[in-house]
Amino acid sequence: MGIVYAALDEKLNREVAVKTIRDVGAALPGAGLAGGPGRGRRQPPGRLPDLRDRGRRRSGVSRHGVARGAAAVRGAPAGRCPQSPIDALALLLPALEALQALHATGIVHRDLKPSDVFVTPHGVRLLDFGLARSVVDDATATVADLTMHGQVVGTPAYMAPEQLDGSVVDRRADLFAAGALLFEMVTGRSPFAAASNLASMHAVLYERPPALTGASSVDAVDRIVRRTLEKKPADRYQTAADMAAAVRAASLTPHSGEMARAVAVTRLVVLPFRVLPADPDTEMLAIGLADALTASLSGLDSMVVRSPLAAAGFGGPTPDLKALATTLEVDAVLTATLMRAGDQLRVSAQLVDAPAGTVQWSHRSQTALGDLFALQDELTRQIVASLAVPLSGDEERALRQDVPASPAAYECYLRATRFANNHETMHQARDLYLQCLEQDPGYALAWARLGRVYRRIGNWGDRAQAADNFSKAEHALGRALELSPDLSLAHHYYAYLEIDLGRAQEAMLRLLAGAKRHRSDPELLAGLVHALRYCGLLDASVAAFEKAERLDPNVTTSVCQTFWMLGDTHRAVETEREGDRMMGMLAALRNDQPAPVIAQLKRRAAKVSGAVEVTNRAFLAVLEQDAQAFAGPFDSLLASTRDPENLYYMALMAARVGDRDRCLSALERAVRGGWFCAQTIAGEAWLAGVRDAPRFAALVAQAEAGSLRAATAFRDAGGDRLLGL
């Protein structure tokens, strides 16, 4: 908007800064200085007072005390070249303290960018208050903007979304800009840099910034950047003081010397394919194809692929892209229809931007039913090419490998996948995967999914057959990894099996290795939430959840139980999955409000059966403090339960009704089963009645030893660096 000159005030004999506004130069004496030689333009009628007012405001705001506008400042702007995370945080902190002072006077800067954070021999200075405005006391709005007529005033790549879409602007807009500045300081470029201002504005409004990857100090910076660059002001730090506190905490993270790497991550969802006209056999293949596409793409570091199940509610001929983009937080959506004609399948697919709805490419083809893998492979490659996804050599090989030996084997695989997500059809899925492997014993993906099915049958099926099913699951997953050692899906499924078998530490190490290889896979981090909690590493479990949620806000985790173990009842209830009730019921007990839960359980009594009905009766007895009614269902559950974490909750119920022996028996089995939350056991108020028992001291010592071993293994494997601890 103008030019700043270093000058000498001859009267005061000191250096000063003289700023001239480019458009007003022609109307003032010395017009040639304003726009350079020959560039002065006469000010249109009516504009001069407005520009003079802006000039007065520019100099007036500077008197609020952050950096004196009358003094020449010599130095260099922040963000010009990549800096180490620790150096960047050290530079950002005084700028945040300056913003804190500015906001305390009721002023919002509104145009914070690298050139306004000057690094001088005397420290960091915050400059340039030409667009600053005062705000009302409740910090929810600014006064009417004083802008150039018909123009956006500010620097698009650093402006918060609310500055671009006409929403209310407050001091949290400055924190958004501070997050963009921090990103630039560690990478050397703006997170929303683009070829034009319009493209930058679109990126600010709709795109997520690239993820920062590297050492633990880089992860600490990434956490701050992610929160400050949230599109909604309510999701950011609420004050400069809050952000400064996070910066100070991150500054304590050890730095290995590794610089930050910015990895652009594209978020995609493959909607369940629509079959026209309705045809049950083709529909099974369509669902399997969507799942197979998702599995194929999810191994790419530069992509986060949502589950088709998460998008099931957005099907139909015209999905609501805006709602889908907002709910699932995706950048692109693949939609497809299938029409069967004899032994041929007609396919029509489109890849569209979300939420804009712009079609990136469309695909129409006719494929033989016996050549479905060729269709999946073609769609996968077109998606990668259209989104310009960068592929490493390993990722290129991963997309080419694991091709089924025959079309018939692949059809069995797709049909099995349709059945594998429902407890009631697990046995059909098992049989179809076995048929697939009879035709192609070298198909690693089918072995991995068969292992998952055996594990789930072992957990939910006949208890007498559980050990056999777990053994078959381990064999199948081991075979998958023999055939494809880097198959992320197999490592993920194997980790959950290891937890079931009491080997939480092995599961943790397997998932850590996978998360290092595939840094953009939220499912591996979701598994870590589970494994780390079993190892007793509760803070690390929460850190894994936070990292997974940054990649996929809709990722399903068991973090509600981690928060319960930490004693944070509110977060436990808040993060419980929709439809689950355990945290809510436990919270009602914790808060001595059992009446609503008792009424709810009695209403459910006639609608449930099996293990759910037994659990229902046990919990009802606890709520009503009926130790006699509790004993029967407790013993039935104890005989059938393998999960050590479930045994811990059963111990809590026994403690609530004063049954010491049953409480201690359940706790001992939980710890023997590989559940090592020693701090939870030792600190849980409900267990006060059994703390004097020698058995209790022994099981706590056993849990502490297991947790200590796991903590050592976690650090040796670099888990603290991966999660930014």
Q: Is the peptide bond before 161 cis (omega within 30 degrees of 0)?
A: no
- The whole-number average pLDDT for the span 283-289 is 74
pLDDT digits (tens, 9 = 90+) for 2-44: 777 888 988 888 888 887 766 544 444 343 333 333 333 344 4
Is the pLDDT higher at 581 or at 482? 482
- The whole-number average pLDDT for the span 58-86 is 56
- The whole-number average pLDDT for the span 147-163 is 69
Beta-bridge partner residues of 164: none
pLDDT digits (tens, 9 = 90+) for 108-145: 888 888 877 877 777 777 776 656 666 543 344 444 44
Tell me the DSSP string of 141-173. -BPPP---TTS--S-GGGS-HHHHTT----THH
Tell me the DSSP string of 213-242. ESSHHHHHHHHHHHHHT-SSGGGS-SSHHH
- Could you tell me what percent of the chain has a pLDDT over 90? 24
pLDDT confidence band for 66 (50 / 70 / 90):
very low
What's the pLDDT score for residue 589? 80
Is the pLDDT higher at 561 or at 194? 561
Distance (Å, whole) CA 583 – CA 591: 12
- The answer, yes or no, to whether residue 54 has pLDDT greater than 90, is no
Cβ-contact 343, 336 below 8 angstroms:
no
Distance (Å, whole) CA 251 – CA 223: 12
What's the pLDDT score for residue 40? 37
pLDDT confidence band for 498 (50 / 70 / 90):
very high
Distance (Å, whole) CA 3 – CA 647: 71
What's the pLDDT score for residue 68? 45
What's the pLDDT score for residue 50? 54
CA 153 to chain centroid: 32
- The whole-number average pLDDT for the span 502-529 is 88
- The answer, yes or no, to whether residue 550 has pLDDT greater than 70, is yes
3-state secondary structure 331-364: CEEEEEEEEEECCEEEEEEEEEECCCCCEEEEEE
Q: Taking all residues of the chain, what is their mean pLDDT, rounded to a whole number? A: 79
Residue whose tokens read 């490659």: 381
Structure tokens at 320: 């609501």
The model's pTM is: 0.66
- The whole-number average pLDDT for the span 295-321 is 72
pLDDT confidence band for 473 (50 / 70 / 90):
very high
Of 238-242, 255-259, 332-336, the range with the highest mean pLDDT is 238-242
- The answer, yes or no, to whether residue 74 has pLDDT greater than 90, is no
- The whole-number average pLDDT for the span 376-405 is 71
Least confidently predicted of 441-455, 498-512, 575-589, 697-711: 575-589
Going along the chain from its start, the domains and CATH numbers come out as 2-64 (no CATH), 76-263 (1.10.510.10), 266-400 (3.40.50.10070), 507-725 (1.25.40)
pLDDT confidence band for 482 (50 / 70 / 90):
very high
Distance (Å, whole) CA 506 – CA 510: 6
pLDDT confidence band for 328 (50 / 70 / 90):
confident
- The whole-number average pLDDT for the span 660-666 is 92
Residue 653 φ/ψ, nearest 5 degrees: -65, -45
- The answer, yes or no, to whether residue 475 has pLDDT greater than 90, is yes
Cβ-contact 560, 575 below 8 angstroms:
yes
pLDDT digits (tens, 9 = 90+) for 579-624: 677 888 888 888 887 777 777 777 776 666 666 677 777 778 777 7
What's the pLDDT score for residue 540? 95
